[in-house]
A and B are shown apart, each in its own frame.
Chain A
Amino acid sequence: MLGLVVPAILSGLTTGAVYALVALGLTLIYGVLHIINFAHGSLLMAALYVALVLNMRLGLDPYVALPIVVAVFFCAGYLLQRFVVDTFSHGRDANILLVTLALSIIIDNGALYLFTSNTRTVDVPYAFDMIEVGPAFIPLPKVVAFVAALVIAGLLWLVMRHTRLGAAIRAVAIEKRGAELMGIDVKHTYAMCFGIGTACVAAAACLLLPTFYVTPQVGYAFVLVAFTTVVLGGMGSLGGALVAGLLLGVVEALCGLFLGETLGQIGIFAAFILTLLFRPAGLFAPKVA
């Protein structure tokens, strides 16, 4: 039994790191704008396709493409927030939710139109290289994803703690009006957040691609997991998202092991609903009054 459980946990951790990366982007946006970006998963899917096309047309390895895709998506995220989400919602919370929903519909179905619903994968020479980790063999790309996700999370933390931008983001998150009065450009800060959040999914996409597949619906599955991660970790908490992402990866792997593939996902949603109901501020938050 243990012979199966430990590899499952390790493999779960590697998946969880990618979940965490996706969730970091989402939680950053939530923490500052106080809205859920329903287009987050669609942006992940779009980034997967961009990396895929770069690979097929230019032969770029997904890892090599990572900086390019990240830069492109950072800009796309910035522009989306500044010129679509903000403008089209008139700044109303309920409408922001709907605008991001509209974006996800457009991106998902645009991809369906452009790429059809066929499942695609990339061919990389190292896809089946294995690394021995304790009692388990883990595919090399998963180990890379795990390490890279943690590194990116660390970088994000450094940006938040030690840069002017990070300070501005934290200020806006706590008190928008006050920050505005202190001369912080709130719209710019919002857009930077959206950009960074989108860059996170772009990075996640490039790390995922070697071991994963792409379909126009793939974002949907991820975004639900990301929602769960964000809620579990406490909306807006970066550290919480990281821990919750890893945890969920393990929960999913274990549920998959014991309940089978499809029901494995139930574990995630059960966790989601239970947290939303009983600890809406997240697992690690002090109990809400």
Chain B
Amino acid sequence: MTETLFDVERIRKDFPILSRELPGGRPLVYLDSGNSSQKPLQVVNAMRDHLEHHYSNVGRALHVLGSESTEAYEGARDKVAAFIGAPSRDEVVFTKNASEALNLVAYAFGNPLAEDERFRVRPGDEILISEMEHHSNIVPWQLVAQRTGATLRWFPVTDEGRLDLSGLTELVNERTKIVSIVHQSNVLGTVNPVAEVLARARQVGAVMMLDASQSVPHRPVDVAALGVDFVAFTGHKMVGPSGIGVLWGRREVLEAMPPFLGGGEMIEAVWMDHSTYAPIPHKFEAGTPPIVEAVGLGAAVDYLTSVGMDDIRRHEHELTEYGLAALAEVPGLRVLGPKTAEGRGGTLSFTLPEVHPHDVGQILDDAFGIAVRVGHHCARPLHLRFGIPASTRASMYLYNTTDEIDALVRGLHHVQKVFG
């Protein structure tokens, strides 16, 4: 086995919150990064520096601060573009979060302003998602279906928590307008086989989108190599701030889409009765954008790059292997999703017999300072699929350690003692 050079203790020092004490002197064990990640000093300082020295509105101010702020904002776009291998910086659209990025794309479908045939939706056309989606990649498509009379369909999920592709050729067919699936599941950890689905989508001329909210933070993602049309992700899960998300789209497809929100900065010229629109990406960025948040996201991708996305993936893979083995020791515990670390990320969701997840989470927090998420994690249909109302989820990131997994397992034994 190769010795890993990943220095997690050094990384933890970049995240001051990880060494804070909780009331009662408990140390914090943060296992909720799938929900939102913590922020390193590098991000906090970059945002603070911008606010202290460079802040002004972007795009429209001619003064020194205006140009410095614009440069920082647009510089963040360059960084994000490089981070995800975007062929062009113009293909990176800043949004509020992943949900807005998904809605932005969904809004184009069946929109009377969309002249491109790919976005025309008629009754009987189909939209394809999967049973393992986050609500953010379900509800926008339900709305499209309701507006247009299209049929919403979905890939089922296997008992092991993988996408069931056995019906691929029937599910992706001549009527399919868009296939939008999660890249890495926020509950199961499953990493989905994009190429296979994309190949079929291309055969039938369907557009394809990936919800990469849980993959971009955790593994190297190259949008050009993936070859899909759209990728959505969100800043706060990748050591960046909340309030900013990203839609990457292939230039040609973004250009074929109608605007989403109307307002300042998204226009070229405005008359009282009509307008012409700015080129991408600004066509999709109406109003004053999240400026400081973009700066923070730029610092976040710098930070992740300096640590190394390959190393982050490897570290999390090791934690996942360790975590799956450790959880298997807890009597009766049932892991949702793949039982091995192959093709899966460090999201460990599980149930304990006879103990409700809210009680699990409460005791882990109260007694041990362990922060996990409990509930359906915005993936209710997936929980219904597995016949459970809720689960407990421990999700890991670059700063987590095997000691923290040990603490989780000790905590779970305690939970079982309380309810034994």
**A and B: real partners?**
no
* Contact surface of A with B, Cβ cutoff 8 Å: none
